[in-house]
Structure formats: C-alpha cells, structure tokens
Amino acid sequence: MEADPRQRILEATYACVARWGLSKTTVEDAARQAGLSRATVYRYFPGGRDELVDAVVSWQYMLFFGTLYDEVHGAGSLEEVLERGLIFARRQVLEHEVLQKVLQTEPEVLLPKLTVESNRTVGLISGFLVPYLQEHGLPEGLPVHEAADFLARMILSYISAPGRWDLTDPAEVRTLVRVELLPGVMGKTQIVDR
C-alpha cells in the first residue's frame, strides 16, 4: 500500500536532505522526489519550506521516541530504564546518517531547530519517566514532575556530550546512572563497584 501524500512528502524531503543537506533542499526538490506537484506539497505544508523541514524534524523525533519506548518497555526498574535508554539513544544519535551529515556540514541550520525541539524532547522524556519515578519512590517533598524534568535534562546532556562516560559500555552506563543521575534525584550517594 502506498503511503499517503503527506507521508510521501516527509519521506521525500528526508531523502533530499540526506542527498543535498538541509539548507539546499527546496520544496521543488521534495515535490519531485515524492512524485507530486509543488501545489500538492503546499496544500499539505502551506508554510512552505520552513514548515516542511519542521515537520520532517518532528517526524524523526516521533520515530526515535517510538523506538526508544520499544527499547525500554518492560524494564523492571528506573535504573534499567535509564541504562537501556542512554545506551540506545547515544547509539541512535551516532548512527543516524542524516543527523550526522547535517551536524558536520551545516550545524548552524540544524542546531536552532533542535533547540526549539528541546523543550518538546524534555517533555517526552519526562513524561515517560514519571510512572517509573512514582513506582521507585522519591524523597518526601520532591514533586515527581520536577524529578522527571531533572532526569530528562541530564539525559539529553549526556546523550549529546557524554564527557568521560562511554555510553556504549553497559558497565560505564550503570555507574553513571547510580553515581550521577539517581543521586541527583534521590539526594543520596549511591555506592557502586566499578
């Protein structure tokens, strides 16, 4: 079954960005790649190129979070959710060919879009963590949404710039979760054997 026109346009725009980059991709390119007219593209994206690019970024975000959910679904603890999620997310960022290409060739175009999406990303991660935080138990007086917001912001920070932590090594990630992430929420030192 052929994708609906809106989805075809998103996929075509993504293919164009992969080929030519973000700044060089036009509405005409996307229409040609999708096998549709420019008028059809504008019917679905009346804001033109900017709306189209924003829609592609949002589409990729939703794909990422759907896959992330599948990756951590069934985890038995908050620690396991954080460990699986960090390893998966870092790998996805590093292996996403289009994201890596655009970050290397035109970061000045992509980074503002990611910044705009960051509040949405924090909200998605935070919302996902809330049930695990409620189940795990929090120090008295610490609102669950504040704890989830803190963890979401820290997770994003580590995914984009892990510093001394090797997020491909499960033992390193386990230590990071128990030494830095959870103590930031739980307010106590976690002792972990390295």
For the chain, give every domain's residue range: 1-52, 74-186
Tell me the pTM.
0.77
Q: Does 1.10.3720.10 match the CATH number of domain 1-52? A: no
pLDDT tens readout for residues 60-102: 888 888 898 899 888 888 899 999 999 998 898 888 888 777 7
CA 181 to CA 193: how far, in whole Å?
16
pLDDT digits (tens, 9 = 90+) for 117-154: 677 788 888 988 888 888 877 778 888 999 999 999 99
Give the CATH number of domain 74-186.
1.10.357
Q: Is the pLDDT of residue 191 over 60?
A: no
Residue 189: which pLDDT band, with cuts at 50, 70 and 90?
A: very low
